[in-house]
Amino acid sequence: MRYAVVIEKAGNNFSAYVPDLPGCIATGATVPEVENEIRDAIRFHIEGLRADGLDVPKGVSLAE
């Protein structure tokens, strides 16, 4: 499944979040670092939802 990711400059670092997975966030010192961290966060978030017996939201947000 694919999800849109929003990456923003946050002070001296970068932050990322996934609009379709509330609470799924990551930070990093560089864009490549935050991209790697958010990939891990998405996997972990989905594993947690499944472990708790919850539905995994579909990726419906669009990105340009």
pLDDT in tens, 15-49: 999 999 999 999 999 999 999 999 999 999 999 99
Query: Can you tell me the mean pLDDT for 5-24?
Result: 97
User: What pLDDT score does 17 carry?
Assistant: 98
pLDDT band for position 63 (cuts 50, 70, 90)? confident
In CATH terms, 6-51 corresponds, of 3.40.1010.10, 3.40.1390.10, 3.30.160.250, 3.40.50.720, to 3.30.160.250
Residue 53 φ/ψ, nearest 5 degrees? 75, 20
Q: Is 38 helix (H, G, I), strand (E, B) or coil?
A: helix
* pTM of the entire predicted model: 0.90
Q: What is the dihedral of CA 12, 43, 19, 15, to 10 degrees?
A: 0
User: What pLDDT score does 16 carry?
Assistant: 98
Among 14, 24, 26, residue whose Cα is nearest residue 46: 24
DSSP-assigned beta bridge partners for residue 16: 7, 26
